[in-house]
Structure 1
């Protein structure tokens, strides 16, 4: 037979077990809640990044200009290297982007590279977009996107190009095509003083050989002769 003291001790052990059980259960529940909150935060952050990049702030009604076929005579043949072209690009973009909140860089190495940033949750994320340049028959230059470096974020090139098209201040003669991952440098739309225009002839970045021609418009001689005739008559 069990004594009263033994029964008392047994009762105390049972009470202790009953008291411990809710604490363990509460501890497990807290970990579950913390895990669910963490997963929700990660999913929410990824969703925010995707929506931020793919959203359209306003419709893009900018019409694509038709190709302008220019007749003329090549008057200056330029053969240059990447170092000189990069200096020219830096000078042009520094002046073009004055007053802009979002800036970017474009330069040539063994590939053409676009370097810029966009913000995610208030933090700037830097990206490098690499292109292969191709000279087209009409003298324009097509940049075909080939790879993207953007830290640990796995975003497709198409979405980055959409961001560039939407948020970056670009010259009117630069055409971004996210669907086929290209940027077209519309030299046929580029204007120089006195009507001079440029056509690309060759771009070989590996051998550091870049060539282009500056053309005199076909009707420039007629305009010059007309001006001379008016001066003589006066």
Structure 2
């Protein structure tokens, strides 16, 4: 009698496991299909031009999560000679690195005010900086960063204008996914981005 009960129990757990597995697989399939499904265009905004991209979603984050993401992404751009950090502080975006002068490393801090551009890029405008006690012009410091630091291709430093443009819409990857900033709000700790996918 005990052996029969054990067999029935094993059989029951086997079927329960298979049922649970089937539910999980179908749930995953539904979510995946919803993620890659293209929404029908709004009939009021139908364009005759061919769209080379499709919006696949929006995500919102805060300073803490944004800083972790930036740090993780920038790991591949650090070198033994030159490493740096970029993060969102309470009221500014901060760049921390060093300036090489006559063989000495001088601490470098640059404070930026972020702006969202109409094309979805983020512009960082220099508000203040510190290179030890050296009285260097802003454009020289930005030119030094441009020529000495390893940066992502979508980062465009404009020393003469004292700005750095982060062209998220030019982000390149195998999936063809890129971002456009929709809200950059340090005070209210809110950062929103639209996610786009390039059509093959």
After TM superposition, is the score higher than 0.5?
yes
**C-alpha distance in 2, partners of 1:201/1:180?**
23
Deviation at 1:100, TM superposition (A): 4.4
Residues 19-168 of structure 1: matches in 2 within 5 Å? 71-97=52-78, 99-109=79-89, 110-168=91-149
Aligned with 2:184 (options 180, 203, 206)? 203
Instruction: Look up the SS of the partner of 1:158 in the other structure.
Output: helix
Distance 1:200 1:89, change over 3 A: same
SS where residue 193 of structure 1 aligns? coil
Residue 18 (structure 1) aligns with: none
What's the offset of the Cα at 1:215?
A: 1.4
Structure number with higher helix proportion: 1
Aligned-partner Cα distance in 2 for 1:78–1:92: 17
- Superposed CA RMSD: 1.6
Number of aligned positions between the proteins: 149
* Residue 214 (structure 1) aligns with: 195
**Rounded Cα–Cα distance in structure 2 between residues aligned with 1:143 and 1:71:** 28
TM-score norm. by structure 2 comes to: 0.70
Structure with higher Rg: it is: 1
Q: Which runs of 5+ in 2 are unaligned?
A: 1-50
The Cα offsets for residues 25-50 of structure 1, whole Å up to 9 and x where unpaired, read as xxxxxxxxxxxxxxxxxxxxxxxxxx
Secondary structure (helix, strand or coil) at the match of 2:133 reads: coil
Secondary structure class of the residue paired with 2:119: coil
Gaps of 5+ in 1: 1-69, 221-234
